[in-house]
Amino acid sequence: MENQTRVYILVLEGLSDLPSLQLPLFLVFLLIYLVTLTGNLLILLLIFTDSHLHTPMYFFLGTLACLDMSYSSVTAPRMLFDLLRERNIIIVRDCITQVFFFSFFCTSEVLLLAVMSCDRYIAICRPLHYMQIMSWNVCIWLVSSICFCGAVHSLLHTVFLTKLTFCRPDALQSFFCDLPQLLEASCSDTFINVLLIFLLGILLGSEEPGTQIIPNKSFAKTQNPN
């Protein structure tokens, strides 16, 4: 690794390299993004203005709307911006930051959906004790715990990413900084990073975002130390 040239700028392949398609794709995804933001904002507005919706179920639904908007805003604005440029480049520091927030909102949304399913289970099976079990203090504690777990999960990935050396600027075959492809752009040993993806995925009971692509060099290094 001593002979590798360290890079601080990565190249995103994007959705298309055809100039004739970039503007139509920009308009289509801009419309989808605006519809997503508008729909979730309307949900929040309805929950805030209607006092009949001030219940634990709609509290979680409003939180889900916030996470959905944040989740979309991590990747969509950057993707739209890149569709207007000829060369899609991103600084390594910014790329790692995007991975952090993408992982944070994705993990928080998965955990929140699990909490919402438990909330509906209690409402159906224990209707007389529902308001005692799902009090506002419990709801706030659950959402705070979800955000804490999501932050810890994302921070672990980010800390180990900052220890890597990147030497393949053109390895990101995506329109955003996907974690496995970011590992492929590294010339360091990524075995710990890949192991962390699997361990945290098992712990959370869900698949990590983008884990369909696993850096082969990590396993090659473990199987062939020479």
CATH of residue 120's domain is 1.20.1070.10
Domain that holds residue 198: 9-223
152 located within any domain:
yes
Q: What's the predicted TM-score (pTM) here?
A: 0.81
218 located within any domain:
yes
Above 80 in pLDDT, residue 173? no
Above 90 in pLDDT, residue 205? no
Above 80 in pLDDT, residue 225? no
205 located within any domain:
yes
Report the chain's mean pLDDT, rounded to a whole number.
82
2 located within any domain:
no
Number of domains composing the chain: 1
pLDDT of residue 201: 78
pLDDT band at 212; cut points 50, 70, 90: very low
70 located within any domain:
yes
27 located within any domain:
yes
- For range 27-41, the mean pLDDT: 94
In DSSP terms, 11 is beta-bridged to 89
User: CA 27 → CA 80, 83, 157, distances in Å?
Assistant: 9, 10, 33
147 located within any domain:
yes
177 located within any domain:
yes
- For range 127-145, the mean pLDDT: 92
Backbone dihedral region for residue 61 (phi beyond 0: left; psi -120 to 50: alpha; all else: beta): alpha
DSSP single-letter state for residue 51? G
